[in-house]
Amino acid sequence: MTEVGEGNLNWEAILKACEEAGTQWYLVEQDVCQRHPLESLRISLENLKRMGLS
């Protein structure tokens, strides 16, 4: 339970599969936050942008 890009998931492979499937929308959900929820959201958004999403 951590921000997008901060854990042990293979985000490169996940985002490649999403692109191949024609994904148009990405949603971020985090059940447990170690910091303020909006700070967690900011981190996830910044990480997704670094991975090439805008």
Is 46 inside any structural domain? yes
Is 26 inside any structural domain? yes
Is 5 inside any structural domain? no
Give exposure, 5-15, as e/b (b: 16+ Cβ within 10 Å): beeeeebeeeb
CA distance 15 to 32: 23
Supply the range of the domain harboring residue 43.
11-50
How far does Cα 11 stand from its chain's mean position?
8
Is 29 inside any structural domain? yes
Instruction: Classify residue 34 by burial, with Cβ atoms within 10 Å: 0-12, 13-18, 19+.
Output: exposed
Is 36 inside any structural domain? yes
End-to-end alpha carbon distance in the chain: 23
Domains of the chain: total? 1
pTM attached to this predicted model: 0.83
Q: What is the pLDDT along the chain (54 residues), one digit of tens a residue?
A: 899 999 999 999 999 999 999 999 999 988 888 999 999 999 999 999 999 987
